[in-house]
């Protein structure tokens, strides 16, 4: 059975279940009933029904889905979770943009991964709604986001919550130290936090288009940063490098030069095996045509693969071809089907197109926010006049948006290097937050 038939059947099942939901019945009863009849966990049922409900609020996308059945449940859930904080007033615009984003323009075109969809929606929300800081749960980081749980067996868990860029920076330091000292990640945490080890020098790459004024900044694993976050990170930049030159780099040496490595990571974003979500900076640079067989070390012959998929490829179980112009990778799997994988990094063609129009749209958003703030101020002034309230409420009524997006940036290159994070390169992947399943299978 082809994978799209499974996707269609799954969607139809959830559509049927969602349509049977009786709004007058307590939702716990509904979830329990469906859970019992499907054998699925209550939480799974709840998430799936929420995903269907959100899809119902996006009529264009729903119509598209019911024609093509292209979105599986993991993608529908990604859409639901990313839109959870969105103001419903923006849904018509989001519906149109998402439908366009998720429309194939040619046969068998693979879909963006759930993670890519979440990051795109986050960026869309940043762009549409100036009142929303999508990557900040709470700037004060309340004490509930830090805790320790002691177990009976003599161990304890420490839990701490951060914004994603901060967490990515901490994680990079931990991984770098663990690798250098050949110790576990938890042990590396302990050494850093107890001050017994100062850690090793690491860096993070920030990506920014140099040919677009006030272009957004991308931090790997965190995605596109909002203007405030971007300003914070740009302030830490120590080195600016132009990646255009790296695109032309081709060497006979086996080792990948740092600039070329940054280019490949910026193109691929994650391990290029379809559905694998290991971050590119923890992947190996795989030579499509083996170095021993004359393969060059160049953008047209290198692909980011996590250690697991690198080993499978080296063993000959899976094979691929890289399109050097588009960055698309075509995989041939052992069962004879081919699967296409699109690059997801900030330098991928889709991201570049998106960046080019981002600034115009952000300006339009700020204009709308300004007009809304002015309208609120006018309304309040009129109210004040009417009630002849003499109390001075102080300040103006401006809500948001007026002051953002104007970070003066001295940088003019593609790649900005921040000095204190990220294990440079050939790192080994341990983390994967999604299943290693092929997607977009051709027929
Ligand atoms: Zn992988």
For 20, half-sphere exposure in the C-beta direction (CA atoms, 13 angstrom radius) is 11
Ligand 1 ion: residues within 5 Å (CB) = 271, 273, 276, 278, 306, 309
Task: Quote the ligand 1 centre to 123 CA distance (angstroms).
Answer: 25
| pLDDT confidence band for 409 (50 / 70 / 90) | very low
The residues with which 166 forms a beta bridge, in sequence order, are none
pLDDT at 395: 43
Task: Quote the ligand 1 centre to 340 CA distance (angstroms).
Answer: 14
pLDDT at 171: 92
Tokens of 360: 């115009």
Task: Quote the ligand 1 centre to 436 CA distance (angstroms).
Answer: 7
* 95 compared with 245, residue with greater pLDDT: 95
Measured CA to CA, the distance from residue 122 to residue 213 in angstroms comes to 21
pLDDT at 142: 53
- Poorest-pLDDT segment among 3-17, 105-119, 256-270, 313-327: 105-119
- Poorest-pLDDT segment among 103-117, 145-159, 389-403: 389-403
Q: Are 396 and 216 a contacting pair, CB within 8 Å? A: no
pLDDT at 303: 97
Cβ contacts of residue 298 below 8 Å, gap of 6+? 249, 250, 251, 260
- Poorest-pLDDT segment among 67-71, 268-272, 421-425: 421-425
Task: Quote the ligand 1 centre to 331 CA distance (angstroms).
Answer: 13
Task: Quote the ligand 1 centre to 275 CA distance (angstroms).
Answer: 8
Mean pLDDT, the chain, whole residue set: 81
Task: Quote the ligand 1 centre to 89 CA distance (angstroms).
Answer: 39
Task: Quote the ligand 1 centre to 178 CA distance (angstroms).
Answer: 21
């Amino acid at each position: 059975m082809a994978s799209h038939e499974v996707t269609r059947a799954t969607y139809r099942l959830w559509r049927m279940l969602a349509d049977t939901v009786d709004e007058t019945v307590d939702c716990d009863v509904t979830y329990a009933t469906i859970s019992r009849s499907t054998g699925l966990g209550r939480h799974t049922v709840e998430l799936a029904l929420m995903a269907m409900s959100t899809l119902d609020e996006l009529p264009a996308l729903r119509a598209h889905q019911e024609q093509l059945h292209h979105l599986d449940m993991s993608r529908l859930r990604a859409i639901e979770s990313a839109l959870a904080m969105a103001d419903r007033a923006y849904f018509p615009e989001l519906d149109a943009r998402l439908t366009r984003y998720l429309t194939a323009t040619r046969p068998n075109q693979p879909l963006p991964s759930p993670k890519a969809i979440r990051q795109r929606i986050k960026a869309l929300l940043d762009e549409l709604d100036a009142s929303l800081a999508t990557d900040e749960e709470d700037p004060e980081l309340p004490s509930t986001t830090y805790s320790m749980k002691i177990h009976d067996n003599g161990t304890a868990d420490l839990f701490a919550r951060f914004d994603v860029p901060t967490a990515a920076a901490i994680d990079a330091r931990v991984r770098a130290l663990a690798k250098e000292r050949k110790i576990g990640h938890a042990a590396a945490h302990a050494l850093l936090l107890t001050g017994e080890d100062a850690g090793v020098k690491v860096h993070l790459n920030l990506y920014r288009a140099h040919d677009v004024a006030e272009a957004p900044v991308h931090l790997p694993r965190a995605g596109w940063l909002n203007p405030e976050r971007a300003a914070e990170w740009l302030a830490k930049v120590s080195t600016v490098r132009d990646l255009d030159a790296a695109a032309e780099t081709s060497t006979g040496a086996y080792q990948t030069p740092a600039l070329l490595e940054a280019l490949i990571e910026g193109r691929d974003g994650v391990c290029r095996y379809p559905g694998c979500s290991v971050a590119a900076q923890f992947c190996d640079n795989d030579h499509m045509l083996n170095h021993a067989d004359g393969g060059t070390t160049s953008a047209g012959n290198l692909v980011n693969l996590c250690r697991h998929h690198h080993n499978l490829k080296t063993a000959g179980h899976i094979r691929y071809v890289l399109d050097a112009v588009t960055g698309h990778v075509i995989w041939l799997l052992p069962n004879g089907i081919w699967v296409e994988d699109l690059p997801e990094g900030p330098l991928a063609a889709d991201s570049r197109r998106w960046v080019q129009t981002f600034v115009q749209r952000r300006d339009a958003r700020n204009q709308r926010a300004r007009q809304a703030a002015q309208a609120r101020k006018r309304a309040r002034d009129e109210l004040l006049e009417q009630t002849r309230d003499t109390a001075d409420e102080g300040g103006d009524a401006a809500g948001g948006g007026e002051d953002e997006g104007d970070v003066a940036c001295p940088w003019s290159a593609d790649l900005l290097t921040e000095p204190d994070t990220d294990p440079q390169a050939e790192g080994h992947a341990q983390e994967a937050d999604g299943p290693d399943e092929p997607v977009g299978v051709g027929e």
